[in-house]
A and B are shown apart, each in its own frame.
Chain A
Amino acid sequence: MRRLRLDRLANPQLLALVGVLAINWLLFPSFFHVTWQDGRFFGSFIDVLNRGAPVAILAIGMTGVIATKGVDLSVGAIMAVCGAVAATMVVAGYPAPIAIIAALAVGLACGLWNGFLVAVLDIQPIVATLVLMVAGRGIAQLITEGSIVTFNDPSLIFVGTGSFLGFPMAAVIAVVLMVLVTLLVRRTAIGLFIQAIGVNRAAASLAGIHSRMLLMLVYALSGLCAAIAGIVVAADIRGADANNSGLWLELDAILAVVIGGTSLLGGRFSIPMAVVGALIIQAMNTGILVSGFPPEFNLVVKAGMIILILLLQSPYAALPFKRRPAASNKTASS
């Protein structure tokens, strides 16, 4: 971090983001046109930051989980649960800060539940988190009693639609969270331990690493991030929609992490690059919308993107560049 080198900026994720943004600019020349209005920025590019924030926040938590060779399918459902908790509490008359803290606590509890299933009961992550993915929406509907709970509490609405230094609040929250979590894992040994568990849990345990505690931590963090995303989305639409809040967003979050270069096989990870991955996905969404293509097109483009990434990550993709690893070793040793 201290030695930020220019060549590090030329990584595939940032190049892809620049590429997608450039295509948007070609299709829609005023894409980067930003205006200042009512004390905040407006424009398509700002919209990408704002709309991309929920997936970016999910991706921050998801990165840790995927780095341990796991996956968290429940984050979309946890968003719905936590949005429902925050909305029903402010409607019931609790002050917004209390409602937010309660929603965060519920998200944390959901994450700890996932962590318990994975770390203590040794259930495969995809199955363990499927439990909450299915049950979570039911719980959210029970909380909202089947209806969309709308609210007018200005402080809660500010979380989703307000601005800070002219930037949308959701994007600011995502960036602050990214910086905090990155510092947490990189300035401590937690990041190294997470990688060690993802690469080889048996060897990591023999080397004295508390793999259970770390697994609990990453799933708890993922649940907490889902809670934040759930509050942001509810605040944005001024209501909690148990059926649609966060629907399928777990898949976007996983895609963002994978675009960010973290392998589903665990090991090396990058939280900032996962956030860049979320921005790439949102830039594509926005680009298709503003350029006038029907929104259904979006799904096809996304599918194409996934195929491209999987191809690039497959061992066969490296074949034409077989000399590469040897060359990079040489530079590393010099």
Chain B
Amino acid sequence: MIDKGERRMADSQYVLEARGVIKIFGSQTALDSVDFGLRRGEVHALLGENGAGKSTLIKILTGAYQPDGGQVLVDGAPVTLDNPLHAQTHGIGTVYQEVNLLPNRSVAENLYLGHQPTRFGLVDHRKMERDARVLLTRYGLDLDPGSELGSHSVAVQQIVAIARAVELSGKVLILDEPTASLDRNEVERLFEVIGDLKRAGLAIIFITHFLDQVFAISDRVTVLRNGRLVETQVLDALSRTDVVRLMLGKDIAFSGATDLEPENPTTDVLLQFSGYGRKNGVAPFDLTIHKGEVIGVAGLLGSGRTEMARIMFGADPADQGSLRVNDKPANVRNTTDAITLGFGFCPEDRKAEGILGDLSVRENIIIALQGKLGWFKALNRDEQLEIAGRFGESMDIRAASLDMPVKLLSGGNQQKVILSRWLATDPAFLILDEPTRGIDVGAHAEIVRTINRLRDDGMAMVVISSELDEVVAYSSRIVVMRDRKMVAELRGKNINPGVIVQAIANNPDEATP
């Protein structure tokens, strides 16, 4: 199949190409005239933060979505891909993070499902297993094709999925975060397979959040941001810092340096996390937070920022290390423990984990306070209205009525409702995960103002944000996460987004521009 592709290759520089692709969902433009070209025999990394448009682009290239504008070309000829199955007939195969195979059937059946070799109209099991064994050897797997797929490791299953995709399509292989659930050795094994396929002339799109892996196997990289193409580059021409900068959209040269607060804060220590961590969550970290301090947390998506927040709040409780609150030992085994200690948490995914959509603005504001009071000390309607009204005013929540369902509010107002929910519990420590993502400019400014006001009132906060300018502006110290580890704690003078970008990219020796 690969050979067939080779002969037609002469027609075009690209095996698979998107030209000026546009995709619109409702009032949002998910992709805005994006160009993307995939060459034969290359590993092409596709990068971008959440909402950059990576998955939308992949879905268009595999026929899961139809573009609202522009063209998809295979070997230089425009095609309409009706669905992923149709894309397969054009030679485009996809392997997802979660293996989409049948774990309770044999490896051979999984490889040939839907196109089994037949004999007299019946499945020829012997031939199928023989073929499977030959195929698996090519991928460096020596295993019994008759064994159950589920009995093998995720890495092996992943390779079987790749083998199947290559067998079925044979020209283009799209790997959507294939390494997310693999350990280091398994990743290396997968990379060997990818390297072999590349040398055999396959064109590969590789999507991952891990920069190390991008640099380990990619030839070229395309970066998307906010639905637009930022750049397509040969990877050798780029440093890690360049890549992070492209992804976050920060032009280091212009940002002025800011002096963070003095090394030794004068206020009392509120929290001391020591060796705090969770298996498969975040490696143990040490962090001391004073009253009236804002700790900014920077890092790429998947770097462990959200996991750190959830461990601190007890949503995924820590399984190692210790915590002291006000210099007394404390135990956070669940969210209730955290709330009792005066913690609050605004999650990143507002819709899935934040708002109670069908309940009223009033109920959404008082719910955490009521949770703290328990089942039997119910706030009556007048008390609820008083509390909700107070925060509605001080946070400037724009709602026609406090009794309207919160799902009808705009994103910014919903975020203010969730902030109010925690402020109503009179917290000592607030964790905000991407509090300004996806909200309008006015609400954005309002939330930054609120963070500043709360800090000046003596509240301790951890704020996770991809908006580096903003993080620098309100933080007292900045913690940098990479590969689920806390890798740096920036403090003192001359902190600017450029320094943070370098810390994220792990390039301390690179000269500051």
Most buried by B among A190, A192, A204: A192
Which among A195, A202, A329 is the interface contact of B401 at CB below 8 angstroms? Answer: A329
Which among B347, B358, B367, B378 is the interface contact of A209 at CB below 8 angstroms? Answer: B367
How distant is the Cα of A268 from the Cα of B347 in the complex, in angstroms?
24
For A195, what are the chain B residues with a Cβ–Cβ distance below 8 Å? 356, 358-359, 363
Quick check: which of B31-39, B166-174, B300-308, B368-376 contacts chain A, the rest being far away?
B368-376
Which among A189, A206, A332 is the interface contact of B347 at CB below 8 angstroms? Answer: A206
For A193, what are the chain B residues with a Cβ–Cβ distance below 8 Å? 370-371, 375
A207-B421, A330-B400, A332-B404 as given contacts; A190 in contact with B356, CB under 8 Å: no
CB-CB contacts below 8 Å: A196-233 with B: 196, 199-200, 202-210
How distant is the Cα of A332 from the Cα of B353 in the complex, in angstroms?
27
Evaluate contact between B403 and A188: CB separation under 8 angstroms.
Answer: no
Evaluate contact between B404 and A187: CB separation under 8 angstroms.
Answer: no
Interface of A is mostly: helix
Evaluate contact between A196 and B359: CB separation under 8 angstroms.
Answer: yes
Evaluate contact between A206 and B376: CB separation under 8 angstroms.
Answer: no
A333 close to chain B: CB less than 8 A: yes
How distant is the Cα of A199 from the Cα of B359 in the complex, in angstroms?
8
B336 close to chain A: CB less than 8 A: yes
Evaluate contact between B353 and A192: CB separation under 8 angstroms.
Answer: no
Evaluate contact between A200 and B367: CB separation under 8 angstroms.
Answer: no
A267 close to chain B: CB less than 8 A: yes
Evaluate contact between A207 and B367: CB separation under 8 angstroms.
Answer: yes
B511 close to chain A: CB less than 8 A: no
Evaluate contact between B353 and A203: CB separation under 8 angstroms.
Answer: yes
How distant is the Cα of A195 from the Cα of B370 in the complex, in angstroms?
13
Which among A189, A206, A267 is the interface contact of B370 at CB below 8 angstroms? Answer: A189
Kindly provide the distance from the CB of A242 to the nearest chain B CB, expressed in whole angstroms.
Answer: 37
B346-358 interface mask toward A, CB cutoff 8 Å, 1 = contact, 0 = none? 0100001111111
Q: How many residues of B contact A (CB 8 A)?
A: 34
For B403, what are the chain A residues with a Cβ–Cβ distance below 8 Å? 332
How distant is the Cα of A333 from the Cα of B392 in the complex, in angstroms?
14
Which among B338, B345, B372, B375 is the interface contact of A188 at CB below 8 angstroms? Answer: B375
How distant is the Cα of A189 from the Cα of B381 in the complex, in angstroms?
11
How distant is the Cα of A199 from the Cα of B421 in the complex, in angstroms?
17
How distant is the Cα of A188 from the Cα of B376 in the complex, in angstroms?
5
For B376, what are the chain A residues with a Cβ–Cβ distance below 8 Å? 188-189
How distant is the Cα of A196 from the Cα of B359 in the complex, in angstroms?
7
A169-203 interface mask toward B, CB cutoff 8 Å, 1 = contact, 0 = none? 00000000000000000011110110110011011
How distant is the Cα of A254 from the Cα of B451 in the complex, in angstroms?
47
B202-238 interface mask toward A, CB cutoff 8 Å, 1 = contact, 0 = none? 0000000000000000000000000000000000000
How distant is the Cα of A205 from the Cα of B335 in the complex, in angstroms?
7
How distant is the Cα of A294 from the Cα of B385 in the complex, in angstroms?
54
Evaluate contact between A199 and B353: CB separation under 8 angstroms.
Answer: no
Which among B354, B356, B363, B371 is the interface contact of A208 at CB below 8 angstroms? Answer: B371
Which among B339, B353, B374 is the interface contact of A202 at CB below 8 angstroms? Answer: B353
CB-CB contacts below 8 Å: B320-352 with A: 335-336, 338-339, 345, 347, 352
For A210, what are the chain B residues with a Cβ–Cβ distance below 8 Å? 336
Kindly provide the distance from the CB of A69 to the nearest chain B CB, expressed in whole angstroms.
Answer: 11
How distant is the Cα of A88 from the Cα of B451 in the complex, in angstroms?
67
For B378, what are the chain A residues with a Cβ–Cβ distance below 8 Å? 187-189, 192
Contact count band on A:
20 to 34
Kindly provide the distance from the CB of B435 to the nearest chain A CB, expressed in whole angstroms.
Answer: 15
A193-B375, A207-B421, A208-B339 as given contacts; A329 in contact with B404, CB under 8 Å: yes
How distant is the Cα of A192 from the Cα of B376 in the complex, in angstroms?
12
Evaluate contact between A189 and B373: CB separation under 8 angstroms.
Answer: yes
CB-CB contacts below 8 Å: B369-413 with A: 370-379, 400-401, 403-404
How distant is the Cα of A329 from the Cα of B353 in the complex, in angstroms?
26
B9 close to chain A: CB less than 8 A: no
B315 close to chain A: CB less than 8 A: yes
- Output the nearest chain A residue to B335 by Cβ-Cβ distance: A208
For B347, what are the chain A residues with a Cβ–Cβ distance below 8 Å? 203, 206
- Output the nearest chain B residue to A190 by Cβ-Cβ distance: B375
Most buried by A among B352, B358, B368, B403: B358
- Output the nearest chain B residue to A204 by Cβ-Cβ distance: B356
For A329, what are the chain B residues with a Cβ–Cβ distance below 8 Å? 400-401, 404
Evaluate contact between B356 and A196: CB separation under 8 angstroms.
Answer: yes
Evaluate contact between B359 and A202: CB separation under 8 angstroms.
Answer: no
Evaluate contact between B335 and A267: CB separation under 8 angstroms.
Answer: no
How distant is the Cα of A196 from the Cα of B375 in the complex, in angstroms?
13
A200-B355, A200-B356, A200-B357 as given contacts; A207 in contact with B400, CB under 8 Å: no
Kindly provide the distance from the CB of B287 to the nearest chain A CB, expressed in whole angstroms.
Answer: 21
Evaluate contact between A189 and B374: CB separation under 8 angstroms.
Answer: yes
A206-B347, A333-B401 as given contacts; A192 in contact with B358, CB under 8 Å: no
How distant is the Cα of A206 from the Cα of B401 in the complex, in angstroms?
25
Kindly provide the distance from the CB of A206 to the nearest chain B CB, expressed in whole angstroms.
Answer: 6
Which among A192, A208, A268 is the interface contact of B372 at CB below 8 angstroms? Answer: A208
20 pairs of residues in contact across A and B, judged by CB atoms under 8 Å: A188-B375, A188-B376, A188-B378, A189-B370, A189-B377, A192-B363, A192-B367, A196-B356, A196-B367, A200-B357, A203-B356, A206-B315, A206-B345, A206-B354, A208-B336, A208-B339, A267-B358, A329-B401, A332-B403, A332-B404
List 15 additional A-B contacts (Cβ < 8 Å) besides A200-B353, A207-B367, A332-B404.
Answer: A187-B378, A189-B375, A189-B378, A192-B367, A195-B358, A199-B358, A203-B347, A206-B335, A209-B367, A209-B371, A210-B336, A267-B359, A268-B358, A332-B400, A333-B400
- B residues bordering A, Cβ < 8 Å? 313, 315, 335-336, 338-339, 345, 347, 352-359, 363, 367-368, 370-379, 400-401, 403-404, 421
Q: Which 4 A-B pairs have the closest CB atoms?
A: A208-B371, A333-B401, A208-B339, A332-B401
